[in-house]
Amino acid sequence: MTINPEVNDINASYEYGWSNPESYAIKAPKGLRRDVVEMISKAKDEPQWMLDFRLKALDIFLSKPMPEWGADLSGLNLDEIYYYIKPEGFNTRSWDDVPEDVKNTFERLGIPEAERAALAGVGAQYESEMVYHNLKEEWEKLGVVFLSIEDGLKEYPDLFREHFATIIPPEDNKFAAINSAVWSGGSFVYVPKGVKVDIPLQTYFRINAESSGQFERTLIIIDEGAQAHYIEGCTAPSYSSDSFHSGVIEIVVKEGARFRYSTIQNWSHNVYNLVTQRAAVYGNGVMEWVDGNLGSKVTMKYPACYLLEDGARGEILSIAMAGRGQHQDAGGKIVHFAPYTSGSIVSKSISKDSGRSSYRGLVKIYEGAKYAKTNVECDALLLDEEARTDTYPYIEIEEKTARVGHEATVSKINDDQIMYLQSRGLSKDAAAGLIVRGFIEPIAKELPLEYAVELNRLIELEMEGSVG
């Protein structure tokens, strides 16, 4: 693995930058073309309607220009990406059947240990395919479904087709279209009426090959009165060339259901991370996004809640940390279609070493969504004079009875606080780290203990050498 000095320096605190030697069953040629899309569909033995869907999405992708708003995407060369890489041995329910090098990767990442200790089920994606999916028997007996997206299509075709691409169609944006054309891997989750899964499900995504793309598609359906929590983690090696991640996550939260989707994204600093994720929330349902963005070269990600029926609620908690060479363009969207719906967005960002973080959010209240209410809080923390932060809030209100609040703050680490903590025996770096952990505490406290500890540890790694 060759890394130029600049990339190596940027990734100095990144502990997941190792890679395995490449050994794959199928590796498509670089670039996005019709024959690549057809090859993916054939490799997955898909029905004709899915191939037709993919090819239509390819046409939509080719017709849409690259977005000129948000982060700078001029360095992303879509012709130099491998859009499909199938590893040797995949989609097994036995950990023993996972190929040794892939198994070692996830063991180094701590996935089997986490599965045993704290998870109802776990999925592991390596390159373009799920290599492992397992759900504990106690939840299977209650009718919970936790499969790869491909197995969801094969085993639950009617349920799959009823919901697939209805929340995020290919026409939504250029990157939803590219995902729709070449999607591979991801999870299919169904929680039956009234079932409450009280420990999280997790899927972990790993890019290994240089100049590769990962385009998982996740579809989650939480039936009436059900509850669940899903956690996503991500890493990739550090290379001198860029990789590309463009996932699509569609979630249906039915009447009276409650669902939380948590992400701890820690891509290496050569990954463009351009994700579309959206939930449709029905009567008195609750959708919660907990979104942590620490890695990547560029992130553009705005979890969304579409509140479709009376009493639906959406909550978005977002944290972004941008260091040198990074632009984290994150935030959230809440759209009110019905009366008595409510939402909140809490966004925290930290910038250092010329890194740039941006909050970009939308609150939209349609006419007829009587007494809808949403509150937005954006707080940014700058660690040095080179860091940058921006806020781009969009608020569109068509209903006179609606209530919307928005507040934003920008602050620097306070020298008096640093001096006080130093007087109590902490080093300057330790004092700054303590202040930062306090700043992100509203996000960290919403994660299970093991993941809150991991989030704090990752931020400590990013903070090393930031002060003084």
* Closest CA relative to residue 180, chosen from 283, 96, 265, 57: 57
Q: Specify the range with the lowest mean pLDDT, choosing from 71-75, 105-109, 270-274, 342-346.
A: 105-109
Long-range contacts of 90-94 (CB under 8 A, 24+ apart): 90/126, 90/129, 90/130, 90/131, 91/129, 91/130, 91/131, 91/132, 91/133, 91/148, 91/150, 91/151, 92/131, 92/132, 93/132, 93/133, 93/134
Q: What is the mean pLDDT of the chain?
A: 86
Q: Specify the range with the lowest mean pLDDT, choosing from 17-21, 132-136, 151-155, 324-328.
A: 17-21
Q: What is the rounded CA–CA span in Å between residue 120 and residue 200?
A: 6
Q: What is the pLDDT of residue 9?
A: 47
For the segment 144-185, what is each residue's pLDDT rounded down to a tens digit? 999 999 999 999 999 999 999 999 999 999 999 999 999 999
Q: What is the pLDDT of residue 63?
A: 97
Bridge partners of residue 377, in order along the sequence:
346, 407
For the segment 125-143, what is each residue's pLDDT rounded down to a tens digit? 777 887 777 888 899 999 9
For the cut 90, the answer to whether the pLDDT of residue 445 exceeds it is: no
**This prediction's pTM:** 0.89
Phi, psi of 343, rounded to the nearest 5 degrees:
-155, 165
For the cut 90, the answer to whether the pLDDT of residue 337 exceeds it is: yes
When pLDDT is cut at 50, 70 and 90, the band that residue 10 belongs to is very low
Q: Specify the range with the lowest mean pLDDT, choosing from 91-100, 201-210, 316-325, 417-426.
A: 91-100
* Closest CA relative to residue 190, chosen from 250, 147, 158, 134: 147
Q: What is the pLDDT of residue 127?
A: 78
